[in-house]
Structure 1
């Protein structure tokens, strides 16, 4: 009996580990905002480190959940929500920054508005599905979208600090970031269509 109780307790503890990492990722968001509120070179570099840690925790909590057989309905809801909060907060902070060269925001506001509209729609779909007792987890397309956005944000945070020579063309981190973000925008709307069909036909995402 004691052995069985111990196994149950260990199983419960293991199931909490991925969710704890997700919550820690959420706690890093205010730190990122504080750092980007005073965007000196040192503060921006610190913000990049914070963002990278948060982004890596996204991969780690998913890997642990599968490895420890600790995938839960709470995790399926909380993990993509934490991703949205992290990514959208970072993009909003990037819109708030202005280039020293032309005075334009580091990220065009229209891209962020379109991404935010998509996230509100998908979050609403998840809420409707949850009210019917169905959990819509992140699809593979949605995961690719999130990965591209996180890569884009790192490049955008580096902005014009670094550049790469490709043949006769010099490409800045800002340009790379905007291209990654544009691709993620296209994929994000494709995945939104997937989520919409799955929400209405009652099929949970993979």
Structure 2
């Protein structure tokens, strides 16, 4: 593995996960701000490592593998912590949808790659919109304090539910694209 800026950013994002968890549980004023800042930093590095890999022409098999893993680990960790902090059906439903979809689509992509059909389930525009909205939702929910008259928590919940709907929609798009391969007789 060659260490380049995109791969270092991805590894940094994974390294931030335990720090993020510890800060989430620390009992000090402003822990929610620092937790949101850490998640925001991870979200920015998610965008930045992909941008730099393309811009600097430093794409690698390691980076292509690790980048989505780092993203899914951070999002799943944040969602689990938020559900634990807000133990209700209202929080659990979108979290289960988002985490479940990530597991299902990762498995689908792996299987499609094995049969040489990976391009059929490449990342779509709706998936990118879903990811952006999901990151905004989690960031707002982690911060949770109103900013002036801006209802951070409420807007975060609305964004989380819209992201969950887009999650289901994008999963349907991926499954429809993969359906011929899934139903092909051997």
- Normalising by structure 2, report the TM-score: 0.83
**Count of residues in Structure 1 that have an aligned counterpart in Structure 2:** 179
Q: Which has the higher contact order (CA 8 A, sep 6+)?
A: 2
Cα RMSD after superposing both structures: 2.5
Given candidates 29, 32, 35, the residue that maps to 1:47 is 35
2:124 aligned with 1:145, yes or no? no
Which segments of 5 or more consecutive residues in structure 2 lack a partner in the other structure? 182-186
Whichever structure has more helix as a proportion of its residues is 2
Larger radius of gyration: 1
Report the Cα distance in structure 2 between the residues aligned to 1:137 and 1:75, rounded to whole angstroms: 16
After TM superposition, the runs of 4+ consecutive aligned structure 1 residues lying more than 4 A away are 104-107, 133-137
Report the Cα distance in structure 2 between the residues aligned to 1:63 and 1:89, rounded to whole angstroms: 24
Which segments of 5 or more consecutive residues in structure 1 lack a partner in the other structure? 1-11, 99-103, 165-170
Contact 1:29 1:86 (8 Å CA) reproduced: yes
Quote the offset at 1:121 in angstroms.
0.8
| Alignment CA distance shift 1:62-1:160 (3 Å) | same
Give 2:184's aligned residue.
Answer: none
- Normalising by structure 1, report the TM-score: 0.76
Query: In the TM superposition, what are the counterparts of 1:44-193 in structure 2 within 5 Å?
Result: 44-98=32-86, 108-135=91-118, 136-164=121-149, 172-193=151-172
